Amino acid sequence: MQKVNVAIIGSGNIGTDLMIKILRLSESLAMSVLVGIDPDSDGLARAKRMGVATCHTGIDGLIQMPEWSSIKIIFDATSAKAHLYNWDKVKAFPDKKMIDLTPAAVGPYLVPPVNFKDNLDVSNVNMVTCGGQATIPMVAAVNRVAKVHYGEIVASIASKSAGPGTRANIDEFTETTAEAIEKVGGADRGKAIIVLNPAEPPLVMRDTVFTLSEQADREEIRKSIHTMVEEVQKYVPGYQLHQEVQFDDIPASEPVFIEGLGLRHGLKTTILLKVVGAGHYLPEYAGNLDIMTSAARATAERIVTGMTT
């Protein structure tokens, strides 16, 4: 298979990790250009050492480079605000697709094992957030067995793994993830919380997923969750259940109040996850970095498969 040329906009933690993954692991993607706005960034320096072309004048500079004509996929690892500008430039080129790793959510949300096939022909797809990529598959796994009324996720990541872009987009993180819990995960109502854990030594990413659904066979829900974990592990090997799935009854006589839905009862499912990073750029504690970049790489590779079949 001839590799497809790609570019990454954003030379911070996410963009640099994604670049390394493509160079080391991808059989269908060719790393063409890493783009930043700081000529002295570590990401651009690393790209040069690894033989990758660089640009420090953003999307405008990339479009002027000779490599631009052959690039088919552009990853955006900047910020929600910057993505709006970048997409306004890229959308003028219909032969190119954009994979958005910011919470801008211009295009539809995409979580590879859940709804990739629904977005085959879309020019701009959004990878939600690191917390969304880790937890939405679990909400969807419950929802395909029992209708989920409410899904709540708590993503705890090491403070050291959160770069300036992540910190600047906390509000967008919670809003985007909550909406994607509904639109992709299938919940009637979603809520997302992120915790930047300052512990030393840094702890690996931990995610807690709560769902309130209709009553259903608990063993079927458990099997669905384990099957989904295996699907995610195909592109994020460090993704795993931290404990076995837990169930609790919420009886009709003691319903809980959910904002926007009112009183609800049913089956509460608790799923505890941890994500150990591959250590390609930041250490293994940065599972949040790993799941986001791995999901983006998996999406691009599936797009390429569609291009060549």
Instruction: Give the active site residues.
Output: 130
**Pairing of β 71-76 and β 4-9:** parallel
Q: Are 282 and 17 in contact (CB under 8 A)?
A: yes
Structure token digits, residue 201: 């030594």
Distance CA 84, CA 119 (A): 20
Burial code (b: 16+ CB inside 10 Å, e: under 16) for 172-205 equals bbbbbbbbbbbbbbbbbbbbbebeebeeeebbbb
Mapped onto helix, strand or coil, the DSSP state of residue 295 is helix
Order of strands, edge to edge, in the sheet holding 29-35? 53-55, 29-35, 4-9, 71-76, 97-100, 124-126
Kindly give the residue spans of alpha helices, DSSP state H, lying in the chain. Answer: 13-25, 42-49, 58-64, 80-90, 112-115, 130-143, 164-168, 170-183, 218-233, 287-307
Backbone angles phi, psi at 151, to 5 degrees: -130, 130
Distance CA 14, CA 281 (A): 9
Distance CA 160, CA 139 (A): 28
